A and B are shown apart, each in its own frame.
Chain A
Amino acid sequence: MDRVVKALLIVIGVMVILSPIGILLVWNSQGAWGEWDVSTVEHMVGHKLPGMEKLSTLWNHAVLPDYDVPGWEDKLHASIGYIISAVVGTVLVVTLYYLLVKFVVGKGTS
């Protein structure tokens, strides 16, 4: 196997295991700017945002919202939820990528 691919596979494995750093480091923060939920924004600006209210509920079928198992709120459970999300997400993006390469481009995936 290609040396770079092999090295990146190791990096990916390490990143999955260490992923909880990505929430523990920012545990008490208010999240990314402009990614707050509707009620938070409405509270901050002090008035209703009807357009945002309508569009924000368009998709609420995320299986692992915010990269966590719903209800796993303490640091330990959220960390486990985060690792599960890292594994699930990695499998999903790689699967979708190979489907794309195989069916859209029609190239071998070996």
Chain B
Amino acid sequence: MHIPDGYLGPYTCAFFYLIMIPIWYKAFRWLKNLKPSQVPLLGVLTAFAFLVMMYNMPVPGGTTAHIVGGTIIAILISPWAATVSLSIVLLIQALFFGDGGITTYAANVFNMGVVLPFVGYYTYKFLSERFKLNEVISAGIGAYIGIVTAATVAGIELGIQPYIQPGYCPYPLRVSVPAMAIAHLVTAGPAAAVVTAAVVWYVKKSRPDLFAMRTIARG
């Protein structure tokens, strides 16, 4: 899901930098709400997000996909914490490992650091609070819908590029959206659901207070 430099034209890239400015402002200000005891937790979760993205999984048809970890951070701490964490991870990945890009950095943060954790978190919250669905199951479904939505949004960004300015990503929406969505529906989505549910189950069992703390820290 890391859009490399060259796939999105200057206008598209600039558009996402503009969108990200207020979101980054809000997310970095949110960091002040982080309780001292949550500081090391977000640190290890940031490392976890970096590492989990190295686990590429084969997708039927010959491509690959990976999970992101954004919904886990959103549920254990806050979706804003996930935005900060993934902004860090995606910057390091682009600069040091050539994964993603400099011009596409804001678009990639928007997809993996905003769409993914917020959709994942609110799906989880909606299912567990409105429908009183088990929190662990809600977390798994949230992670699944979060990553599939983020991948679909990335597919839309890539697929509208030919109509905005040709010479960059050559694939139209009818190719890019199914390609991105299916890879995550069949491979990364189920993996994200299982990993997220397992982590939430473990944390709920060993530190139920973290869930209570998250509610206070959100305000």
Are the C-beta atoms of A22 and B56 separated by less than 8 Å? yes
Which size bracket describes the interface of A in this complex?
35 or more
Counting CB contacts under 8 A, is A65 at the interface? yes
Cβ-closest chain B residue relative to A21: B55
Given A25-B58, A45-B170, A89-B97, A4–B51 Cβ distance below 8 Å?
Answer: no
Cβ of A56 and Cβ of B48 under 8 Å apart?
no
Given A32-B64, A41-B170, the answer on whether A82 and B47 have CB atoms closer than 8 Å is no
Closest to A55 in B: B6
CB distance from A18 to the nearest CB of B (A): 8
Chain B residues lying within 8 Å of A26, measured Cβ to Cβ, are 56-58, 64
Contacts of A94 in B (CB 8 A): 43, 46-47
Instruction: Identify B97's interface contact among A53, A55, A64, CB under 8 A.
Output: A64
Q: B1 within 8 Å of A by Cβ? A: yes
Q: Are A92's CB and B96's CB within 8 A?
A: yes
B84 contacts which chain A residues (CB < 8 A)? 100
- Find out whether the CB atom of A59 lies under 8 angstroms from the CB atom of B43: no
9 smallest CB-CB distances across A and B, nearest first, come from: A51-B167, A56-B6, A62-B98, A52-B6, A55-B6, A22-B55, A8-B44, A65-B98, A15-B51
- Chain A residues at the B interface, C-beta cutoff of 8 Å: 1-5, 7-9, 11-12, 15-16, 19, 21-23, 25-26, 29-35, 37-38, 41, 45, 47, 49-67, 82, 85-86, 88-90, 92-94, 96-98, 100-101, 104-105, 107-110
Can you report 10 residue pairs joining A to B where beta carbons are below 8 Å apart?
Answer: A2-B37, A2-B40, A5-B40, A16-B51, A29-B64, A33-B63, A56-B6, A66-B97, A89-B50, A93-B46
